[in-house]
Chain A
Amino acid sequence: MDVRINKVTKRFGKTTVLQDIELTIASGQCVALVGPSGSGKTTLLRLIAGLEKVSDGTIHFGTKDVTKRVPNKRGVTMLFQRPLLFPHLNVGQNIRLGMKGNEEHGVAKWLERVGLAGREADFVHQLSGGEQQRASLARALAGEPDFLLLDEPFSSLDLPRRRELRTLIRRLTEQQGVTTLLVTHDREEAMAMADYVYVMQAGRIIEQGRPVALSEASPFFGDGLELGGTWQPLSEIELVLRPTNQVSERVTITKELIQYGVRFYEIERASGERLVVQTTERFAEAMTVYVVRKEA
C-alpha cells in the first residue's frame, strides 16, 4: 500500500510545528524519517497514525483519504520506544489482541518467528527488555497491517539487541510486504533499515534520498560514508535483491566494508553489472541485501 502525505501542516495553538510536509512511501518500502530532537518527526508519525489531527493537508493510504479517519480504522500499527505490552495478559493473549481471527499465522507461529517459541504463557514481567520488544513486534505484525510505524523502537535496548531487533523487523516486514516508516535520530538505524530517507529540521523536510547518497552529502550524517575504505574480496553467494523482492540470483561479492554497524558489499551480477548493496545480516547464503547504487 502506497502512502502519500500531501502538504501536511500541524499547528498547536499559534505554534506551527510542521509546515507543508510532502512525503511518499512506495508499497512495501521502508522509509526513515531522521532529524534532531524537536524537528517534528514524532508529530508527523502521530498524524499518520491518527493520534493527532492534521491542521492542513491530506494523508492518503493507497487511494483512500484517511486524513479524518480514527486510528484503528486506518490499518496502521505502531511500535513505540517502550514495548507497551499489557501486564494483566500473558504474551500469547497480548499477541491475540492484535489479531482479527482470519490471519494466516497463529500465535505460536508468531512467537517462533520472533524467537519466543514456548513463551506464550509467560507474563510480561518474566521477559527481558529485548524479549518484550520482540513480543510487541509480534503483536504489531500479527494483525497483518498494511502499514507499520516505528517510533524509535530500539532506543531502550543495548547495541547487540538493537541490531538483532532491526534485522528481525526488516526481515518480517519484508516477508509480509508491510510498508514501514521509521522515526529515528540515529543515523546507523536509518542506514541499516531504510530504502529511502527524509531528513527533517524545524518542522520541514530539508533533504531526501537513498541512505548512502545522503550519507555522502547530508550534514546530518556527519562525515559521510567512505566507500573506498578497506574492502575485502569475498566468495560467491546467493543474494536476494531489494526492492525487486522476488529476484534471487547468484552473484559475486568482490568487496566488503562495515560502517555505522552496517555491512556494505560491492557485488558483480552475472550480466556484468556492478552494484553496491547493504545489509545488517551476518555474511550468509541467501541473505537479504539492499541496493545502494550502481557502479560505473
Chain B
Amino acid sequence: MSADVEHAFRAEHGRAVAVLVRVFGDIDVAEEAVQEAFAVALERWSVDGVPPSPAGWIITTARRKAIDRLRREASREDRHAQAVLLAAQQDGPVEEVGPVQDDRLRLIFTCCHPSLGMPARVALTLRLLGGLSTAEIARAFLVPEPTMAQRLVRAKGKIRHAKIPYRVPREADLPERLSGVLAVVYLIFNQGYVGPRAELCEEAIRLGRALATLMPDEPEVWGLLALMLLVHARREARAGGVLLRDQDRRLWDRAMIDEGQAIVRRLLARNQPGPYQVQAAINAVHGEGVTDWPQVVALYDQLLMFTPTPVVALHRAVAVAEVSGPEAALALVDELALERYHLFHAVRAELLTRLGRRAEARQALQAALELTEGEPERALLRDRLAALPTS
C-alpha cells in the first residue's frame, strides 16, 4: 500500500465502514465494499493524487461498489442481497458530515456490546474501526489466524442474527455501556504494552482520540486518553522493562506527556473523578521532573475507592515506601493475597533489599522469576539477583 492510501486507510476505515453499515444494515457488505473501494483508491490515487475528502471518496465509491454487487446477487434470487439492497435504496443520499460521527459511535457500541465476549469485542473493534487485518489481529493476540477469523465470523453472525442494535445507548444505559467500550480500548492498549506489537498502543490511542471527539463531555473518555498518552510517552525509556526511577527521561516523548498533562489539568478542574482519570493523574505526577510521592499515595487512595483490588493496593504500597519507608510498605504488601503475581514478589524483593534482609529478598526474587515469562523482565530480575551481595 502506498503511504498516502495507507494513511487514509487507517484514518478513514472506521468512518467509512460505519456509514455503510447504516446504509446497508449489514457489516459484511459494508466491510467488503470498503475493502474494494480502498483497492480502487490504491490504483487511482497513485495517478490522480489523494482527493480533497478521502473519506467522502471512499464512502461514495464503496456504496456504488456494494450496490453493483448486490444487484448482481439480487438478480440471482439471493434473498439476503435483495433485502439489503432494498434497505439501501430506501435511504436518502449518503451524508458525509454530521451523522457520520453518530455512525462511528453506533459502530463502536455495536462492536463492544455486552452480549459479546471480550475477545470478540476486541477483535471486532480492531477489525472494523481500526481496519486491522485478521492476520494482524491474530498476531497481536498470539492466536492462530483461523481461530481469529472464526471468532470474527461468529461475532458478526451474532450481531446479525441476534440483532444487536446499531445504536448509541440511551442516556440511562450510557455509563455502563461506555465503561464496556473503554475497557475494550484499554485492553487493546495493554496488549500493545505487554505484547510484541507496540503499534496496538497507537491504535488504542487513535480509538481513544476518536471517542474523545465523539463524546467530548465524558470525563472518563478523556481520562483514558490521557492515561494512554502518559504511559505511551515513556515507551522508549521503558524498553526492556527499565523501572520508572531508572529511566532516562530524555527518552520520554515530551509532546505526548504535555498533551496528557494538559488533559489531566482540565479534568481536575471538572472534578468528576473516575478510575481512568485517577490513573491518568498518577501518571501525570510521574511525568513531572520530581515525583510528588505523597500526592501519588493520595491518588492511589482515591483509586482504591473506585477499584478496591489487591493489585491497586500493591502499587499504592510502592508509593508508600517512598513516603513512609520500606518497613511500612512491606507491612502493607505482606497482607495482600497476590502470591501468583510476579510483581508482588518483585516489590517485596525491592523492599526487603532496602531493609537489608538479603536472604528473604533473594527468595522473593526467585519467586518473581518463576512467575515471569517475558525475557527482558527475566533478565532484569536476574541482574537484581546477581547484584544482591551474598552474606
Q: Do A and B come from one complex?
A: no
Q: Which residues of A contact B (CB under 8 A)?
A: none
